[in-house]
Amino acid sequence: MKKLISINKLVDSTRRLTSILALCSVPIIGSAAEPITVVGFGGSLQDAFHSAYFEPFSEQYKVDVIEDSYTGGFAKQKAMVKTGNITWDLVQMDENEMIAACDQGILEPIRKQELLLADELNPSAFSRCGVGAFVWSMVSTYSPEKFGNDGPKNWKEFWDVEKWPGKRGLRKQPRMTLEIALLADGVASDDLYKVLATPEGKDRAFAKLNELKEHIIWWESGAQPLEWLRGGIVTATSAYNGRISVANQEGSQYPIGWDGQLYSMDYWTIVKGTKNIDRAYQLLDFMMKPEQQKLFAENIPYGLTNRKANQILPNALLSILPTAPANQKNALLLDSYFWLDHEEDLQQRFTSWVSQN
Amino acid sequence: MSTTPLGTTDNVHFEATEPGTLKKSMHRAEKGRRAITWLLLAPLLIYTSVFFVLPLCTMLYKAVDNPEVISGAPNTSKLLSTWQSKSTPLPDAAYSALVSDLKHAYGKPELGELARRLNYEISGFRSLIMKSARKLPALKLGSNDAKQLLYDIDNRWQDTRYWIALKRSSERFTPYYLLAALDLKVNDKGEIGFVDQEQRVYTKVLIRTLTIATVVTLICLLIGYPLAALMVRAPKPVTIILMLAIMLPFWTSLLARTSAWIVTLQANGIFNNFLISLGIIAEPLELIFNSTGVYIVMVHILLPFAVLPIYNNLQNIPNHLMLASSSLGAHPVKGFISIYLPLSIPGISAGGLLTFIVAVGYYITPSLVGSAGEQMLGYFIAFYTNTTVNWGMASALGIVLLLCVMGLYALASVTLGVKQLAGIK
């Protein structure tokens, strides 16, 4: 009998406890809607997303925006879709990964007609499974302490280690590196992929890289080239224009070699099967607004996808965007379809080449 | 004791003789104890099977699994499986089968998977498939001439190489990934041969991985052994300081340690500036972004794995053995070689094996502090897993790495004995 009472007591107190807990949790659930998870590439780029898009969105719509970052690839999204446990909603992706993921059914197709500001956007910003987030660019830069104002200004000069001695930084991957080699070898940007598609063109790119090989230090994350310039490890390097500009905003003086820049667009994608799809569209709409995009470019100078946003940007800022007409001399738009076809075999050849001494 | 049904045999005993009662109760007690043992082991067993055995089996399966073509182009793959590519020309039915397969798969994930898989065989096959599937719905198939239709879309369809590749990748299980992990492939004649010279990479990377791991292990043992011996003999405060010096970096995040080394060893770094200010060197030494950097950093990170097992082992060697040897007139060196060293072999082998196994799977450190020439196999596993999402290739490379470690373990257990390695003896 005694035992029974104590059990009753226990049940009672548990019940009371759970009801207290329930009371505590009700306001939390009630006040905010289901949070949305957005994933970007981190670093200063993510900071710009945060202050231009995620934070104001969260305030305006009273929604928690959970941020995560990753380094590219879509293994995680694929695993999420395959297991049906989707924890990411809106994800930044680069173009060729977006296309591959889209083909494999990992992303939601974008319903353009449901985007409020679709007409204001640059038409190239729409892909089957993505909406353009921004235009980035790979450019050359050099150490002003070493060369003053007279450093290597394009890829051809980048190869000249007699006039501008010191190590060179390039990204350790065939994509962009082979293009840079061909540009340095005098191939016009309009013909570049035609040349690179042929076996002779590939040999030519590797031969050109061979000339510079002993001087190259390979970087892998976007922050490395600028750290290395500062640390004196390299005297000239390739780097993302946004990273250079952010460093310059913080007091550095790295010149941007726009001649022969390689540019491409990054996209916002929605993971297939997410429950937050309406919220994702709402956030997409918000990020397409000209005033938010302006704010983004002020934080990190990447090209914008809303044409109206470009009209309200100050000239000083416009001139350091990859999309500015003055910066488009010999510019090369990266061909994602070329890389989808050739990435694995060129990666293998590149890896084999890069590790030979 | 086997796990045969104890109850039945017991019953027989019980009916036959009186001592059976005792036996039965003993059995019962033992049975209960065994149940408790299993119950206590259950979390471990469940954990290992879910988080170790299952992923391992999945990895083995993924390395040969080949479902893309069968599910993406079912009719074509069935038809091509009977085609004798060496002796007979491609049957016309294959064209119409492919046309209907592509039409059916268009817009579905299966098409993307099919294109991705075929692109491994011939680069450019991806766009050929996607382009054909995209154009087909707009074209009329009234004339029934699927062959002409495909030729019109792209003349690559006239090349039998593509059809042979399609046939080759139509099998339910494929040796493709495992062969590729060893720089081999099945050519169009159906023979196994090396891939082109400029594409060969994994055998080189494997050798490099094993070399780096071996050198790192040897350096760790060379530094770790005297250090452990000192820790055993030194007065307690010194031992504590040495132990902390070893463990502190062990408790720091790997990335933080690696970055600290970059700051220390780079051209304008602390170490070079120190040497220059002392006038020892005029030009900064190249200590990082080459093999020197990789060895310095990896040895630093892996040293605890070598020191701790050796330290543990040396602690258990009685001091008086060396005293005895010198009292019998042996030179300390002789005493060390014939008494101390043989007794510490279990510690050395355990420490060495542990260091090697951890080292062989490294990839972040070499990619941060090494040059392109120090890229290890783990890097490519990560590359295929995350960047190109080619899980078959990642699994195949993982298997190669696993086999190497298992081979080494087998070798070590034959030469040193499993019991010694496990520290039982």
B283 close to A (CB below 8 A): no
Q: A231 and B113: CB-CB below 8 Å?
A: no
ipTM for the complex? Answer: 0.78
Residue (of A203, A326, A348) closest to B199 by Cα position: A348
Enumerate the β-bridge partners of residue B173.
Answer: B65
pLDDT interval class at A103 (50, 70, 90): very high
Average pLDDT in the B137-147 region? Answer: 72
Residue B18, pLDDT > 80, answer no
Burial of A105 per CB tally in 10 Å (0-12, 13-18, 19+) = buried
pLDDT interval class at B424 (50, 70, 90): low
Helix (H, G, I), strand (E, B) or coil at A67: strand
Q: How many residues belong to chain A?
A: 357
Q: At what angle do helices B125-135 and B92-105 cross, to 10 degrees?
A: 80
Write out the two tokens for A33.
């809607």
Q: Which of A172, A340, A346 sits opposite B126 (nearest CB)?
A: A340
Helix (H, G, I), strand (E, B) or coil at A257: strand
Q: How many other C-beta atoms can be found within 10 angstroms of the C-beta atom of residue B3?
A: 7
The percentage of residues in chain B with a pLDDT greater than 70, rounded to a whole number, is 92
d(CA B326, CA B31): 54
Least confident residue range of B135-139, B272-276, B333-337: B135-139
Among A residues 256-275, those touching chain B with beta carbons less than 8 Å apart: none
Residue B108 DSSP class: S
Alpha-carbon distances of B10 from B29, B30, B33, B34, rounded to whole Å? 13, 13, 17, 17
Counting one residue from chain A and one from chain B, the pairs whose CB atoms sit within 8 A come to 98
Contact list, A229 vs chain B (CB under 8 Å):
none
The contacts of residue A258 (CB under 8 Å, 6+ apart) are A137, A139, A322, A326, A327, A328, A329, A331
Name the residue ranges covered by the structural domains of chain B.
6-62, 68-174, 202-422
Q: What is the pLDDT of residue A146?
A: 92
Residue A275 DSSP class: T
Q: What is the pLDDT of residue B398?
A: 94
Least confident residue range of A151-165, A207-221, B23-37, B67-81: B23-37
Average pLDDT in the B210-235 region? Answer: 95
Element (H, E) at A93: strand A90-94
Q: Which of A232, A348, A351 sits opposite B267 (nearest CB)?
A: A232
Chain A residue with Cα closest to B287: A233
Among B residues 113-172, those touching chain A with beta carbons less than 8 Å apart: 113, 115-116, 119-120, 123-127, 130
Q: A349 and B375: CB-CB below 8 Å?
A: no
Helix (H, G, I), strand (E, B) or coil at B425: coil
Q: Which of A75, A103, A342 sits opposite B386 (nearest CB)?
A: A75
Q: Are A240 and A173 in contact (CB under 8 A)?
A: no
Smallest CA–CA distance, residue B271 to chain A, in Å, is: 13
What are the tens digits of pLDDT across the range A310-329?
899 999 999 999 999 899 98
Residue A16, pLDDT > 80, answer no
Element (H, E) at A139: strand A130-142
B106 close to A (CB below 8 A): no
Alpha-carbon distances of B393 from A220, A323, B193, rounded to whole Å? 22, 38, 18
Task: Tell me the Ramachandran region of residue B279: left when phi exceeds 0, alpha when psi lies from -120 to 50, beta otherwise.
Answer: left
Q: How many residues belong to chain B?
A: 425
> What burial letters (b/e) apply to B255-280, b meaning 16+ CB within 10 Å?
eeebeebbebbbbebebbeeeeeeee
DSSP readout, B177-229?
A: HHHHTTTEEE-TTS-EEEPPGGG--HHHHHHHHHHHHHHHHHHHHHHHHHHHH
Q: B199 and A233: CB-CB below 8 Å?
A: no
The mean predicted confidence, pLDDT, of chain A is: 89
Q: Is the dihedral of CA A285, A286, A290, A296 positive or negative?
A: negative
The mean predicted confidence, pLDDT, of chain B is: 87
Q: What is the pLDDT of residue B298?
A: 93
Element (H, E) at A332: strand A332-333
B202-422, superfamily in CATH? Answer: MetI-like (1.10.3720.10)
Residue B17, pLDDT > 60, answer no
Contact list, B380 vs chain A (CB under 8 Å):
351
What are the tens digits of pLDDT across the range A203-241?
999 999 999 999 999 998 888 899 899 988 899 999 999
Q: Which of A74, A105, A354 sits opposite B108 (nearest CB)?
A: A105
Q: A104 and B113: CB-CB below 8 Å?
A: yes
d(CA B352, CA B224): 10
pLDDT interval class at B142 (50, 70, 90): low
Q: What is the pLDDT of residue B5?
A: 46
Helix (H, G, I), strand (E, B) or coil at A211: helix
Write out the two tokens for A252.
């550095």
B176 close to A (CB below 8 A): no
DSSP readout, B235-251?
A: -HHHHHHHHHHHHHHHH
A333 close to B (CB below 8 A): no
Contact list, B124 vs chain A (CB under 8 Å):
341-342
What are the tens digits of pLDDT across the range A41-91?
988 899 999 999 999 999 999 999 999 999 888 999 999 999 999 999 999
Average pLDDT in the A138-159 region? Answer: 95
Q: Are A177 and A210 in contact (CB under 8 A)?
A: no
d(CA A96, CA A130): 11
Residue A101, pLDDT > 50, answer yes
d(CA A117, CA A134): 15
What are the tens digits of pLDDT across the range B240-263?
999 998 888 788 888 888 889 988
Chain B residue with Cα closest to A337: B127
pLDDT interval class at B137 (50, 70, 90): confident
d(CA B180, CA B202): 8
Average pLDDT in the B395-418 region? Answer: 86
Q: A355 and B204: CB-CB below 8 Å?
A: yes
Average pLDDT in the A141-170 region? Answer: 95
Among A residues 88-127, those touching chain B with beta carbons less than 8 Å apart: 100, 102-106
Q: A231 and B130: CB-CB below 8 Å?
A: no
Contact list, A145 vs chain B (CB under 8 Å):
none
Least confident residue range of A296-310, A318-332, B17-31: B17-31
Helix (H, G, I), strand (E, B) or coil at B173: strand
Enumerate the β-bridge partners of residue A257.
Answer: A140
d(CA B254, CA B358): 13
Q: What is the pLDDT of residue B10?
A: 45
Write out the two tokens for B226.
């005297």
Q: What is the pLDDT of residue A10?
A: 47
pLDDT interval class at A21 (50, 70, 90): very low
